[in-house]
Every structure is written in C-alpha cells, then in structure tokens.
Amino acid sequence: MSNYGREVIKVCIRMRPLLPPYEDEEIWGIDSRTSTIFTLTSSFASKLLDVSSNSSGSIREKESRLRYAETLGPQSFTFDYIYAPDSTSQQIYYEVSRPIIHRVLNGFNGTIFMYGQTTSGKTYTMLGTPDFPGILPCSIREIFQTIVKDTENEYNVWISYIEIYNEQINDLLAPGKVNLKVKEDPKQGVVIQDVKQQQVWTFDQVILLMNYGEEHRTYRETSIHEHSSRSHTLFQVYIESFPRASKGRGRIRYSCLNLVDLAGSERLNDFDTKNVTQIGEAGYINKSLFILAHVVNKLAEGKTKHIPYRDSKLTRILSQALGGNSLASIICTVSPAAMNFQQTLSTLRFASRAKTVQNTPHINEILGELANSNEIKAQLTNLQQELLELNTSKIGYETRCKFLENQLEKIQKEIHAKEEQFERMIEGNNKEREIIERLQMVIEKQEVDMENERIMINGQYQKVMEKYQEERRVRIELEKELDSHKEILGRTIKSEQQTLSRLNMLIVKSGGSPVDIPSPNFSYHPNADMNFINSLVFHIETDVSIPPNSVNEWKDVSSRLVNDYRVSLERLQDQYFNKVQTLAERLIDDQRRIQEILISHRGELRNNEGMF
Ligand SMILES: Nc1ncnc2c1ncn2[C@@H]1O[C@H](COP(=O)(O)OP(=O)(O)OP(=O)(O)O)[C@@H](O)[C@H]1O
C-alpha cells in the first residue's frame, strides 16, 4: 500500500427550476462566474410584503419568512461548482463524477451522494430520465466503455442495490432479504452482510437490474411530492482489476463506487398529522439526516475520534466516504423558491461544513499468489522479527492484554450507555420538535382567524359608517326641506296677512269691526278657503257687490285658516323631531355595537398573548 495525502470532499450545488403552479417567486440567485449562490434580498422583501398577491403560502408564512430573512441579512455561499436551473445532469456528471469514476477504475474507493430537501431534485439528478440520463447511468456507461478500451488490464464487476427504510436495510435486488446487518470486514471495511452481489458484464444489464431495484424501492405520495422517496438508497459497484499478463496471481486492485440517493428532509407539519405511517417515515428520515449532519459537523471541526458513525445505519455505511478511505463528492440539490427559503439555507449550511471534511483515499491493492517474492520475503522477515519480540515479551503482553480487555469492556459499556442516552435525547428532541411544530400550526391558525375577524370587523365598521353618512345626508336634506317650507310658509303668511289687512280696511270702511290677523308663526297649508278670501277681496276692491252672508263666512274661514296653519306647522315639526330622534338613537346604537366588538377583539388578543 502506498502513502497518499488527504483530500477534501468536493461539494457542488444544483439549483432546480421553480415548479409551477405551487412555488412562488425566486429568492436565490447564482453567479456562475464565481460559483456563488446568494439571496435576492430586496426583491424577496418586496415580494413577500405584497401579501395580497396570488402566490402560494399563507400571509403568516410569508411574513415569518420575511422576518427570518430580514433578521439574517443577505446570505451568500461559494462552492466548488454551482449549477443553474438550466444545467443538465450530464454536465454535472462530466465535471463532478467522471474524475471519481476514473480513479475508482484505478483502485480508489469513490462515493457520490445526493443531499437536499424533499422535491429538490435528488432522484432526478441521480437517476435522470430516458432523455436526460442522471449520474448513475452516466457512471455505468463510462465504466464499461473504459473497461472495453483497456487492453492491459482485466476487470470483474459486481453490483448491489439496497435501501435503508425506517432504519432497516432491505435488498432491492433480492426483495425477500430484509433487515440486513452491517459488519466490519478487515479487507473491505464496512460491508452489508448477505447482500446480493450480482456480477455484470454490460451497461444494459446494469440498467435492467437498476430498474428492477427501483420497482421495489419505497416511494409514497406526500402533500408536496407525488412520488417521494421514503428511503435512502445505496447503489454499489465493486470493481476488481489485475494486469492480463499476471492472470490474477500478481497485484490485484479492488475498489467500490457508492452512489447514494438520500431521502429528503421535510417539515413534519407538511404532513397529515393523522397519517401515522408518513409521520413515522419522516421521523426516521429526519433522525438519520440529523445524525449525518452531526457526523459532518464533528469532522468539519477537525475531530477524528468519537465520530458517532454507529448512531445510524446510513452513517455507518458512509463512514468510508466521510473522513475515511474514499474519494467523495456531495451534490446538494436546492429549490430557488422563496417558500423553501429555510430548507435551502439549511442545505447550504450543511454543504459549507461538508466541504471542509477531509478523507484519506488510497489505492486498494493486494498481492496475488506469484507476486513479488522479495516483497513477501521482506514481509516474512519482519513478521519473524515481530514474533520474536512478541515471544520475549509474552508475559508482559498477556498482562497488558488482560488490562486492555478490561478497559475495552469498560469503554464499551460506557459507549453503550452513551448511545442509549443519545437515543433518548434524539427521541426527546423529536417530540419537542413535534410539539413546537403543532404549536406553530395552532398559532398560525389563530392568526389567520384573527386576521379574518379583523377583516370582518372592518367590513362591519365600514357598513355602519356608510349608514351613518347616509342618515346624516338624509338629515341635512330634511333640514333643507324644513327651511324651504318655513320660507314658503313665511312668504305665504305675509301675503295672506297683507290680503287680510286690505280686507280689514274695507271692513272698517264699510263700518264693521276688523278681524284679528293671525301671528306669522304658523304654517301654511294651502286650501280652498284662501281662494275664497282672495275672491272676496277682489269683489270688494273692484266694487262688485258682496253677497250679505259672505262677511260672516270669511270670518269663519280666516279662523279655520289660523288653526290649519298651527296644526300643519306642529305636524311638520313633530315629523322632523321624530326623524332626528330616530337617527340619533340609531347612531348611538351602532357606536355601542362597534365598541363591544372592539372590546371583545382586544380581549382575545390579550388571551392569545397570554397563551404564548
Ligand atoms: N433540474 C431539474 N430540472 C427540471 N425538473 C427537475 C429538476 N430537478 C427536479 N425536477 C423535478 O422536480 C420534481 C422533484 O424531483 P425529485 O423527485 O428528483 O426530488 P427528490 O429530491 O428526489 O424528492 P424526494 O426526496 O421527495 O424523493 C420532479 O418532478 C422532477 O422532475
């Protein structure tokens, strides 16, 4: 085995296009020149403030996103590669995966894994479609094309395909084989016990097997993705190669390519809370991704000891790719949508930490039967020397061994206790997270209810104000009408008084006593009597003879007139005051109702504040 240097994990980001009609505006932008991804904060803020727009998400959700983004300020991340929404999987394959494939063919282990929230495009990038093949088919094609062209070496290739569903390993190429165990192999490192390893010779054969495995993989329709992977999958390609001339008795290189498609992280409140299967699956997915992030964090901090690989099957299987003997690339898929802002940010933070993790890849090589005999002889001499040394210090060694065994047992117990404690902590965390998410849902609902109520109260207030305006308008019109009546009445009374004065003059002239002229305070109500008086005055003034009974008659008429004026005026005043009274009462009533609604609304607000 030769010595090799350390290599950091390569990390690339792929941003998929917006998925209409559910997703709203873009919040992330890309500068391909500098491989930077950044927030379009100003447009984000302006778009989120426009809460009345038709875009998806509740008003509360948008406001909380805005608050979150404002608190954080502009975000920007730089990676090895960043791919814009119009990039192809083939392009990513050429730049990110192909260099690894060629080194795997030379005896290095290699791992490429997809990481990102649900619906961000992991499976699309890994498997692709018939028109746009993904990383997996492109890698397999490259392997066989290279093997065919290599005239110096001979190769054997095997594949296996497993899924980790609810922390249980199931064989996708042998569907009956479930709950497989993981074990340490001195030669190959961590391996899956009893997994079906199928030898393959062509690209088509591998694709057939891949499709067969896909049929048995666990997918489910969720509220946000109709074909969502509910498990992590691991597609492994084992390659053995040796120079044709040695016929397998010289140096043999063996390597393994791991293609990992992780299930997406998701928020528990994106699920129907009554769907126990979905909630359970999401819990397992989130827990294993949490442990993966924990492992990456520890490695990123530069720690090499006590890395909690054993806390999940996923991290145990990926231990070679994370800080071990493997080349590794992580392809993080993200959504550009404002509604996925927090999940994208969390993926980018994971990616930032992952790109500082270092591995120590080396060529895996063993010696065949007729390998360099000098090397074997040298090794034999070393071993004999070691044996001699061991024999001489056998007693000390045995004592030391005993001591170490005891120590080991003690440490194992401690580890076990810590593992249990950690399990309980994670369970507690999950429960707390669930409670917080439920509380958030309750708060969200109450805020929506309060918003609706506020809109309703505004509507009612608006109506009351309109009614009040209308009644005010009617009152002003009534006052105007009354004024005009008064004016007409005044004018009429004046003209009638003049007529009656003229009549009195005639009466006095003819030796009679004058009649009382009514005061001008009374209302006028036109009637036939006035016509009669007018004709009487006309007769007198024009010396036309007046019928003898007419003088008494006009006296009656004039006193009736006075009464009529009074009654008419009083009726008019009554009507006017009644109307004004009714309007005032209605106004007071409406104001009282508005007051009551506002008081109860404030009371509820105070209750809600008290709750949270
Ligand atoms: N780069 C892309 N270009 C066009 N469409 C894409 C792209 N990436 C993803 N999609 C589409 O987005 C949807 C979700 O993609 P995909 O199934 O790959 O998501 P995922 O991350 O694997 O989700 P899950 O974790 O729920 O399985 C699919 O309809 C897919 O066709």
User: What is the 292 CA–ligand 1 centroid distance (Å)?
Assistant: 22
Q: Is residue 129 part of a domain?
A: yes
Q: How far apart are CA 51 and CA 56, in angstroms?
A: 10
CA angle 555, 557, 563 (to 5 degrees): 110
Average pLDDT over residues 20-43: 81
As annotated, the binding site for ATP includes: 116-123
**How does DSSP classify residue 225?**
-
Q: Is the CB of 264 under 6 A from ligand 1?
A: yes
Q: Is the CB of 84 under 6 A from ligand 1?
A: no
Same domain, 352 and 468: no
Q: Is residue 333 part of a domain?
A: yes
Q: Is residue 184 over pLDDT 60?
A: yes
Beta strands in 358-443 (DSSP E): 358-359, 365-367
Average pLDDT over residues 172-194: 88
Q: How confident is the model at residue 90 (pLDDT cuts 50, 70, 90)?
A: very high
Same domain, 365 and 464: no
Q: How far apart are CA 369 and CA 373, in angstroms?
A: 9
The domain boundary, picked from 331, 346, 369, lies at 369
pLDDT per residue as tens digits for the range 224-270? 666 778 889 999 999 999 998 877 677 889 899 999 999 887 655 55
Residue 528's pLDDT is what? 47
Q: Is residue 419 over pLDDT 60?
A: yes
Query: Domains in the chain: how many in total?
Result: 2
Q: How confident is the model at residue 606 (pLDDT cuts 50, 70, 90)?
A: low
Rounded to whole angstroms, what are the CA distances from 200 to 43, 175, 208, 239? 52, 19, 11, 10
Residue 460's pLDDT is what? 76
Percentage above 70 pLDDT, the chain = 70
Q: Is residue 99 part of a domain?
A: yes
Query: In this structure, what token pair is assigned to residue 356?
Result: 């500082």
Structural domain of 153: 7-369
Among 401, 400, 70, 113, smallest CA distance to 257 is for 113
Same domain, 362 and 467: no
Q: Is the CB of 97 under 6 A from ligand 1?
A: no
Q: Would you call 548 helix, strand, or coil by DSSP? A: coil
Distance from the Cα of residue 594 to its chain's centroid: 37
- Please answer whether residues 240 and 250 qualify as being in contact, where contact means their C-beta atoms are separated by less than 8 angstroms: no
Same domain, 473 and 361: no
Average pLDDT over residues 537-561: 60
Note if the bond before 21 is cis, omega within 30 degrees: yes
The domain boundary, picked from 328, 348, 369, lies at 369
Average pLDDT over residues 119-130: 93
Same domain, 339 and 482: no
Query: Which of 19, 83, 124, 289, when mutated, tests ligand 1's pocket best, judged by the most ligand atoms within 8 Å of its CB?
Result: 124
Same domain, 345 and 207: yes
Query: In this structure, what token pair is assigned to residue 100?
Result: 């690894």
Q: Is residue 482 over pLDDT 50?
A: yes
- Please answer whether residues 134 and 128 qualify as being in contact, where contact means their C-beta atoms are separated by less than 8 angstroms: yes
Q: How far apart are CA 585 and CA 603, in angstroms?
A: 27
The domain boundary, picked from 337, 369, 401, lies at 369
**How does DSSP classify residue 476?**
H
Q: Is residue 388 over pLDDT 80?
A: no
CATH number of domain containing 21: 3.40.850.10
Q: Is residue 487 part of a domain?
A: yes
Q: Is the CB of 116 under 6 A from ligand 1?
A: yes
Residue with tokens 């024009």: 542
Burial of 424 (0-12, 13-18, 19+ CB in 10 A): exposed
Q: Is residue 592 part of a domain?
A: yes
Query: In this structure, what token pair is assigned to residue 417?
Result: 């206790």
- Residue 230 CA: nearest ligand 1 atom is 27
Average pLDDT over residues 285-305: 85
Q: How confident is the model at residue 610 (pLDDT cuts 50, 70, 90)?
A: low
CA angle 287, 293, 298 (to 5 degrees): 130
Q: Is residue 514 over pLDDT 80?
A: no
Residue 85's pLDDT is what? 94
Q: Is the CB of 118 under 6 A from ligand 1?
A: yes
User: What is the 331 CA–ligand 1 centroid distance (Å)?
Assistant: 13
Same domain, 360 and 497: no
Rounded to whole angstroms, what are the CA distances from 14 to 87, 114, 117, 292? 8, 10, 12, 20
Q: How confident is the model at residue 427 (pLDDT cuts 50, 70, 90)?
A: confident
**Mode of pairing for the β-strands spanning 36-39 and 228-229:** unpaired
Mean pLDDT in the chain? 78
Q: Is residue 163 part of a domain?
A: yes
Same domain, 362 and 488: no
Q: Is residue 68 over pLDDT 90?
A: no
ipTM: 0.98
Same domain, 175 and 61: yes
Q: Is residue 331 part of a domain?
A: yes
Same domain, 356 and 482: no
Q: Is residue 406 part of a domain?
A: no
Q: Is the CB of 336 under 6 A from ligand 1?
A: no
Q: Is the CB of 263 under 6 A from ligand 1?
A: yes
Residue with tokens 């249990």: 420
Q: How far apart are CA 452 and CA 459, in angstroms?
A: 10
Among 186, 11, 9, 13, smallest CA distance to 84 is for 13
Same domain, 359 and 220: yes
